[in-house]
Amino acid sequence: MFGSQLRKNGSSGAKTPSNGRYRNGNDHLIELHDVVKTYRSAAGEFTALKGIDLEVDGGEFVAVIGKSGSGKSTLVNMITGIDRLTSGEILVGDTAIQNLKEGKLAEWRGRNIGVIFQFFQLLPTLTAAENIMLPMDFCRMYSTRERRERAMHLLELVGVADQADKLPSTLSGGQQQRVAIARALANDPPILAADEPTGNLDSKTAESVFSLFETLVAQGKTILMVTHDRDLARRATRTVILSDGAVIEEYLAKTFPALTEAQLIEATRNLEPVKFLPGAVILQQGAAPDKFFIITRGRVEVVLPEANGQEIVATTMVKGQYFGEVELRRGGHNIATIRADPVLGVEVAAFERAEFESLLAASTAVHDAIDRTVSERIAENEAARSRLERNHA
Ligand SMILES: Nc1ncnc2c1ncn2[C@@H]1O[C@H](COP(=O)(O)OP(=O)(O)O)[C@@H](O)[C@H]1O
Ligand SMILES: [Mg+2]
C-alpha cells in the first residue's frame, strides 16, 4: 500500500527507471509493491500474502511479528528469493528479484542476503569453518586461501573460534546458531534475514544471539528478523506486524493500542500514505479541515502566526504523533499551520473524515484518547497564542 501509493504520486511505473536512488527507481534498500503469494497444492489454493507493501531503509533493524500462520516466513522467503512470489514486485538494491532466473537468484542471494534459520541448517558433514567457506566457494568470492582466513575471522567475530574444526552435531544450539550467523556473513552481504533465529534457544542464549544482531546493525548491516518474542522485537528499530497475510501499519498499532487486530487491519486498509517534501504545508491555519494524519516517518512543525506577520514554530511532532483531530472533532478551521520538517520532510498515514470517524466508532478507548488530545491541544494552542500576544503588547 505504502509503496504503490507513493509510486503513483511520485515516480513512474514499476519497470521504468525513474529518479530513485537505485536502478529500478526505488528510494529504499528494500521495497515490496503489492506482493501476493498464493500456495497451490492438491488441497487447493491458499493466499498467504495478500498484497504486501513494505519499505526498508539501509541500516534498519526490522522485527517481523505476528501470530503463527500470519505469513512471516512466507514474507521472508519472498525477500530472500528462497520462494517465488505470485504477483507484485520486490526490489532489493539494484535488483528486481522476481526477474532473476533460478541460477542467478541463488548467486545473487549468496552475495546480497545472509539467511539465518530457526534450526540453523548447517551441513552436518562439514566442520564449522567449512560451513562458512561454502557460500564463498559457491559465489566464487575471495581466493581459496582467504576463504579459510575469513571463516576463522568470522568465527571469532561471533565468539566460537575454538569450535572451528568441529562438526555441528558436537556443538550446542547457541554455538550452532553463531556458526550459522558467521555463515550468513561469509560474503559480507548488506542484508541479513533471520526467521525466528532465537526460537530454538533458551532465553539467555537468545539474548546473546540477539545482542550479536544489534552489534551487526551498529556496524551497518540491515536486518530483517522474524520473532515470536515481543520483548526482543521492541529492541529492533522498527516492527512490522503481519496479520492474516497483511501488514498492519505499525504507528497505527502504537498510537491506538486499544484497537483489535481486525480493527487495525481494516484501518490500515483505509489509510492513504502520503509523502510531503521538506517545508510543504500540510494543514493551513484557517482552512477547513478534511483529514486526520498520523506521522510515520520524519517530522512536522506546528506553526503559529505572530502579530507582526512573522511566524513562530510552536512545537514539532514526530512519528507516532497525530494531527488534524482537533478540527475534525470540533468542526471549524485549523487552529495552526502544520508544515513538513524543513530538512527531513514527512511521511504520514492520512485518513478521510469518514475513515477517521469509523476509527473512533470502533473503539471507545480510541475515542477517549483522541478527545483528551483535543482538549490538551486547544489548551496549549490558547496558551501559546496568549504568550505571543503578551510579547507584542
Ligand atoms: N508450501 C505451502 N503450501 C501451502 N500452504 C502453505 C505453505 N507454506 C505456508 N503455507 C500456509 O501459509 C500460511 C502462512 O505460513 P507462514 O508464512 O509459514 O506463517 P508464519 O511463518 O507466520 O507462521 C499458513 O497458513 C501456512 O499454512
Ligand atoms: Mg514461520
CA distances from 31 to 25, 172, 263, 347 (A): 10, 36, 25, 16
Q: Are both 286 and 327 inside the same structural domain?
A: yes
Determine the average pLDDT of the residues in 87-101: 96
Strands 30-41 and 87-92: antiparallel
pLDDT top residue among 393 and 193:
193
Q: Which helix (H) or strand (E) holds 356?
A: helix 353-362
Q: Are both 233 and 273 inside the same structural domain?
A: no
Examine the pLDDT at 391 and tell me if it is beyond 80: no
User: Ligand 2 centroid vs 228 CA: distance in angstroms?
Assistant: 9
Q: Atom 5 in ligand 1: which residue has the minimum CA distance?
A: 39
Q: Are both 68 and 197 inside the same structural domain?
A: yes
pLDDT confidence of 56, banded at 50, 70, 90? very high
- Please give the tally of structural domains in the chain: 2
**Long-range contacts of range 157-162, CB-CB < 8 Å, 24 or more positions apart?**
157/182, 157/185, 158/182, 158/212, 159/212, 160/128
Is residue 200 packed enough to be buried (19+ CB in 10 Å), middle (13-18) or exposed (0-12)? middle
- Residue 10: the pLDDT is 33
Give the percent of the chain with pLDDT over 70: 95
Task: Answer whether residue 13 is part of any domain.
Answer: no
Phi, psi of 20 (to 5 degrees): -70, 170
* 37 ligand 1 Cβ < 6 A: no
Q: Are both 296 and 209 inside the same structural domain?
A: no
User: Ligand 1 centroid vs 62 CA: distance in angstroms?
Assistant: 21
Domain endpoint, select from 248, 276, 304: 248
Residue 153 sits in a domain whose CATH number is 3.40.50.300
- From the alpha carbon of 71, which atom of ligand 1 is closest? 17
- From the alpha carbon of 43, which atom of ligand 1 is closest? 4
Q: Which helix (H) or strand (E) holds 147?
A: helix 144-157
Determine the average pLDDT of the residues in 290-307: 89
Q: Are both 318 and 211 inside the same structural domain?
A: no
- Residue 7: the pLDDT is 34
Mean pLDDT for the chain overall = 89
Task: Answer whether residue 289 is part of any domain.
Answer: yes
What DSSP designation does 97 have?
G
* 222 ligand 1 Cβ < 6 A: no
Give the number of whichever ligand sits closest to the CA of residue 49: 1
Is residue 218 packed enough to be buried (19+ CB in 10 Å), middle (13-18) or exposed (0-12)? exposed
Closest C-alpha among 180, 216, 186, 182 to residue 198: 180
Task: Answer whether residue 193 is part of any domain.
Answer: yes
pLDDT tens-digit map of 355-369: 999 888 988 988 998
- Residue 19: the pLDDT is 67
Q: Atom 4 in ligand 1: which residue has the minimum CA distance?
A: 39
Q: Are both 223 and 292 inside the same structural domain?
A: no
Q: Are both 192 and 317 inside the same structural domain?
A: no
DSSP bridge partners of 41: 44
Q: Atom 7 in ligand 1: which residue has the minimum CA distance?
A: 39
Determine the average pLDDT of the residues in 113-139: 97
Is residue 120 packed enough to be buried (19+ CB in 10 Å), middle (13-18) or exposed (0-12)? buried
Examine the pLDDT at 94 and tell me if it is beyond 90: yes
Provide the residues around ligand 2 (an ion) whose CB is within 5 A: 72-73
Per the structure, the complete domain to which residue 344 belongs is given by 266-392
Q: Atom 11 in ligand 1: which residue has the minimum CA distance?
A: 48
Q: Are both 217 and 278 inside the same structural domain?
A: no
Q: Atom 3 in ligand 1: which residue has the minimum CA distance?
A: 39
Examine the pLDDT at 11 and tell me if it is beyond 80: no
Strand (E) positions, 85-202? 87-92, 95-96, 113-116, 191-195
Examine the pLDDT at 12 and tell me if it is beyond 60: no
pLDDT confidence of 15, banded at 50, 70, 90? very low
Domain endpoint, select from 215, 248, 281: 248
User: Ligand 1 centroid vs 230 CA: distance in angstroms?
Assistant: 21
Task: Answer whether residue 379 is part of any domain.
Answer: yes
Residue 272 sits in a domain whose CATH number is 2.60.120.10
pLDDT tens-digit map of 142-173: 999 999 999 999 999 999 999 999 999 999 99
User: Ligand 2 centroid vs 217 CA: distance in angstroms?
Assistant: 23
Q: Are both 74 and 213 inside the same structural domain?
A: yes
Task: Answer whether residue 64 is part of any domain.
Answer: yes
User: Ligand 1 centroid vs 42 CA: distance in angstroms?
Assistant: 15
Task: Answer whether residue 92 is part of any domain.
Answer: no
User: Ligand 1 centroid vs 86 CA: distance in angstroms?
Assistant: 14
- From the alpha carbon of 46, which atom of ligand 1 is closest? 5
pLDDT confidence of 311, banded at 50, 70, 90? confident
Q: Are both 242 and 107 inside the same structural domain?
A: yes
* 72 ligand 1 Cβ < 6 A: yes
Domain endpoint, select from 214, 248, 282: 248
Q: Are both 276 and 240 inside the same structural domain?
A: no
Q: Are both 241 and 341 inside the same structural domain?
A: no
Examine the pLDDT at 6 and tell me if it is beyond 70: no
- Residue 383: the pLDDT is 87
Is-contact 196 70, C-beta < 8 A? Answer: no
Examine the pLDDT at 17 and tell me if it is beyond 60: no
User: Ligand 2 centroid vs 376 CA: distance in angstroms?
Assistant: 43
Determine the average pLDDT of the residues in 180-191: 97
- Dist. CA 380–CA 375, nearest whole Å: 9
Task: Answer whether residue 253 is part of any domain.
Answer: no
